[in-house]
A and B are shown apart, each in its own frame.
Chain A
């Protein structure tokens, strides 16, 4: 079969013998759904990996990694699925007299109850506080079994977003935007003199002078283009 080289745990250990540390320079191997990743003995199946009949199997397209015996796949693309304490940027999509419905870019709308809203909202008058189409910076409070979630605006820095611009990026590229220890993000803020807040759902709030925002957006786009090019280099 001409399937090319399939990543397996057995052949991930590099040149210096079985069990030795993997060379850090080597890019983690790419896998496709259904790829057999080797014997599951002694390994834990992490994100995107399924243990089945004593073997590990890839569920997603992405790069395989093995950290502390947990084999997982860093997916190349993924939908945003909310988790408690995620910082997200949402849009008010609708409301009842005491609840706002928020689009947070997840499969399901989140709800923001009046009690967790930004300020003294009154029953029946909540549109005066946050209206349909408004953007908010909020935190995921709770995710229910069926994936519906509750967000809150009680907390440091959580607020309605009234100025600047919100850009969308694929959530899996956030790591690259933020960089090791937040370096890239800090650099972006310094260079453009913008406030940059990256939501875990891939929405980025840029705020500052118009020229700063335009500059920041250009850099954001450049970074993403680079990420795309790098991702594909050496894969042939």
Chain B
């Protein structure tokens, strides 16, 4: 990813707004952009979701493959999560091998989902030591206007929850829902003008400092954390956003549940 120029004026202006507890688009400090979630929008995927947060648009698609289980876990299948931010998504995203930024995106989302234990990998085993399902979650950005992390995490878990194991196509039994027991969701906070805000857009990312990503599962269990970019934060800062993350994650979980019920 090409590093864009950071206008000093933008940083100064964001700081000025922060001092008055305002944001440049008029949102409150912990208010997210309008979030749209659409399920089963990719006919060729076994589970899929599209998320739109402001002008950030992403897709998530689930595919299945048959794999040989790893020797140390002969009765378990696998989960793989990969994020791709291709140059379609913005001026600064470049072609070529995955950039460190997109690898970080994929890995942080992956950890949140994997560590929540929402997928029972033993359920994915077909013949111990020989055959098991590999679940592949592909995250794909169409338009990057900031906070791809939350968009990817939301689309990712929603796609998994709507996924159907294509056993008939592989001639290994009957199709069945993947069965995702928990709903880990991510909330990201960027430090803009000296204080953390939720769901930063591109302009706030450009003129801001460090970011913190929090993935919470059911019952507010913490599943993954990541601090990115240069910057220093305090325990008080963290306690405040953790508190905010709990209520926002619950809202997002409800959004997923509503959509799943509507299907």
Direct contact of A and B (CB under 8 A): yes
Known contacts A210-B16, A217-B24; A103/B5 CB under 8 A:
yes
A135/B5 in contact, CB under 8 A? no
* A162→B10 CA distance, assembly (Å): 10
Given A214-B22, A217-B24, A218-B26, CB of A135 within 8 Å of CB of B9: yes
Distance to closest chain A CB from B43 (angstroms) = 27
Asked if residues A91 and B7 are in contact (CB atoms below 8 Å), the reply is yes
Chain B 1-22 interface residues, beta-carbon cutoff 8 Å to A:
5-10, 12-13, 16-17, 20, 22
Minimum C-beta distance from A216 to chain B (A):
12
> Does A185 have its Cβ within 8 Å of any Cβ on chain B?
no
Interface residues of B in 60-94 (CB under 8 A from A): none
- Type the 1/0 row for A194-218, where 1 means its CB is closer than 8 Å to any CB of B: 0000000000000000100110011
Whether A133 and B8, one on each chain, are in contact in the complex, defined by CB atoms closer than 8 angstroms, is: yes
Quick one: which of B9, B17, B20, B26 contacts A162, CB cutoff 8 A?
Answer: B9
Chain A nearest CB, measured from B208 CB (Å): 14
Docked Cα-Cα span, A165 to B26, in Å, equals: 15
Chain B residue at minimal CB-CB distance from A165: B13
Q: Is A166 touching B9 in the complex (CB atoms < 8 A)?
A: yes
A214–B24 Cα gap in the complex (Å)? 7
* Complex contact A164–B13 (CB within 8 A): yes
Could you tell me the distance between the alpha carbons of A114 and B88 in the complex, rounded to whole angstroms? 38
- Within 8 Å CB of A131, what residues of B? 8
Which residues of B are found within 8 Å of A132, using beta-carbon distances? 5
- Tell me the bound Cα distance from A132 to B9 in angstroms: 11
Residues of chain B within 8 A (CB-CB) of A214 are 17, 22, 26
Within 8 A of B (CB), among A182-201: none
A132 to B7, CA, bound (A): 8
A44 an interface residue at 8 Å Cβ cutoff?
no
With a CB–CB cut-off of 8 A, which chain A residues contact B22? 210, 214
The reply to whether A135 and B26 form a contact with Cβ atoms under 8 Å apart is no
Q: What's the Cα separation between A135 and B11 when bound, in Å?
A: 12
A133: which B residues are within 8 A, CB to CB?
A: 5-8
CB neighbors of B among A213-234 (8 A) = 213-214, 217-218
**6 A-B contacts (beta carbon < 8 Å):** A103-B5, A132-B5, A133-B5, A133-B6, A134-B7, A134-B9
- Which residues of A are at the interface with B, using a C-beta cutoff of 8 A? 91, 93, 103, 131-135, 161-166, 210, 213-214, 217-218
Interface residues of B (CB under 8 A from A): 5-10, 12-13, 16-17, 20, 22, 24, 26
| A-B CB proximity, top 9 nearest | A133-B8, A165-B13, A135-B9, A91-B7, A93-B5, A133-B7, A210-B16, A91-B5, A135-B7
